[in-house]
Amino acid sequence: MTDCLVNMYSDTVTKPTPAMLQAMVTAEVGDDMNAQDPTVNRLEAMVTELLGKEAAVYACSGTQSNQMGVRCHTGPGDELLIEERGHIANFEGGAPAQLGGVSCRTIRGENGLLDLHHLEGRVRAHNQHLCETKLLCVENTTNAGGGRFWPLEQMHRVCDWAHAAGLKTHLDGARLFNAAVASGHSVKDICSGIDTVSICFSKGLGCPLGSILVGDAESIFKARRVRKLMGGAMRQAGVVAATAVYALENHVERLADDHANARAFASAVAEVDGVTIDLDAVQTNLVFFEIDPKIGDACQLSAALKARGILIGAMGPHVLRACTHLDVDRDGVLQAVQGIRDCIAAGIGQFPESKFGPFARA
Ligand SMILES: *Cc1c(COP(=O)(O)O)cnc(C)c1O
């Protein structure tokens, strides 16, 4: 294979910038398991303040902080409600069931979003035959739902509904800052109806790893116990938390560049013969597009692109997802579109057909 020229698999692929590495080198550190790492404490205080909540706890990954959130609000035998494409239900190794004894009741919404007409009637009655519905999980921006952000009123409406129904609310905000920058609403307003919020630093914010769970003091106290149980309580984690402090100060507003690059990619790929795309659906840094089955399948195109040094993953039999981030610029995204055009023109029939489900990578 050629060297990788453009990596649009995910926004997780970014490498720490020199300034970020410098922040790591100079970070003040301590024992975070005992809440004595000044850099982690500073990060937790910053995010608590930004979101207008009471407390926060640093975590290793978004999967971990999501599961900490799930476990704050549920116990074995309980049920959570989630849109059927949600990350918590699909891409976390079955963790609600495996780690928490919790079942996911998945609900078909629109573009990964739920509204009252999807949710009404989904809270189970108190009855010995039934599990107890305890939690509503939402995702903003939606990943498999197409990178959409929630209209603010809709987010508030479903949270009010959940609370009135006696449920807690958890937001998988892996890309919360993308939602804030694209919608123009503050993270505080977006999260005002949410009990616990998980945010990834390793996506658009460009950190090598790390996530955080934010919420009320009691939930975060519980979450610390769960973090310990899951093997995620770290010691001198400040060396990594320093990248998150740096990213919050320097990498939030620039997400608008990623969104503009995603739009440029989308408009250019729309012009390629055999490609279908809903341009109105492109709101943030994720671009989903479909190829005509006559050309081949999504895994074949992904493999053909890979051979040209362009990485874009398959997300369905004929659907691919391209993602913009800190390490891909305007030239890069346009080069990727040229690659798609060239691959389709050359034919992709020699590449193996898809043997895997969604999220298969060439
Ligand atoms: C990336 C992501 C996560 C976290 O996944 P990790 O594999 O733990 O990094 C959670 N939710 C969504 C929507 C994501 O895209």
Cβ-count burial of 271 within 10 angstroms (0-12 exposed, 13-18 middle, 19+ buried)? exposed
245 in the same domain as 199: yes
| 269 Cα: distance to centroid of ligand 1 (angstroms) | 26
Using the mean position of ligand 1's atoms as its centre, give its distance from the Cα of residue 159 in Å.
22
Domain limits for position 340: 254-346
Q: Are residues 109 and 244 in the same domain?
A: yes
Indicate if 295 and 245 belong to the same structural domain: no
Whole-angstrom distance, CA of residue 266 vs CA of residue 63 = 29
Count: domains in the chain: 2
Residues sharing a CB contact under 8 Å with residue 15, sequence separation 6 or more, in sequence order: 208, 327
CATH assignment of the domain containing 49: 3.40.640.10
| pLDDT, tens digit, 9 for 90 and up, residues 125-165 | 999 999 999 999 999 999 999 999 999 999 999 999 999 99
Return the pLDDT at 4.
81
Question: Is any atom of ligand 1 closer than 6 Å to the C-beta of 174?
Answer: yes
- The answer on 58 and 173 residing in a single domain is yes
Q: Within the chain, what is the greatest distance between any pair of CA atoms? A: 61
Find tokens 């479903």 and name the residue. Answer: 158
Flag whether 357 is in a domain.
no
How far away, in angstroms, is 176 Cα from ligand 1 center? Answer: 12
Domain identity same for 200 and 284: no
**Where does a domain end: 233, 250, 267?**
250
Assigned domain for 30 exists: yes
Would 359 be classed as within a structural domain? no
* Ligand 1 contacts CB of residue 200 (under 6 A): yes
Mutate to test the pocket of ligand 1, among 91, 176, 321 (most ligand atoms within 8 A of CB): 91
**CA atoms of 331 and 47, how far apart (whole Å):** 34
Segment 53-94, tens digit of pLDDT: 999 999 999 999 999 999 999 999 999 999 999 999 999 999
- Tell me, yes or no, whether 228 and 323 share the same domain: no
Same domain, 25 and 141: yes
Q: Report CA 235 to chain centroid distance, whole Å.
A: 26
Residues 203 and 269 in one domain: no
Rounded to two decimals, the pTM is: 0.96
The pLDDT tens digits for 189-225 are 999 999 999 999 999 999 999 999 999 999 999 999 9
- Ligand 1 centroid to residue 87 C-alpha, Å: 7
- Return the percentage of the chain with pLDDT > 90, whole number: 95
Question: Ligand 1: distance of its center to the CA of 295 in Å?
Answer: 31
Query: From the alpha carbon of 202, which atom of ligand 1 is closest?
Result: 9
- The domain that holds 313 is classified in CATH as 3.90.1150.10
Domain identity same for 216 and 287: no
Residue where a domain terminates, one of 230, 250, 270: 250
Residues 62 and 206 in one domain: yes
**Average pLDDT over the chain, rounded to an integer:** 96
Quote the CA–CA distance of 101 and 132 in Å, as a whole number.
Answer: 12
> Do residues 279 and 235 share a domain?
no
Q: Is the CB of 143 under 6 A from ligand 1?
A: yes
Q: What is the DSSP letter of 195?
A: S
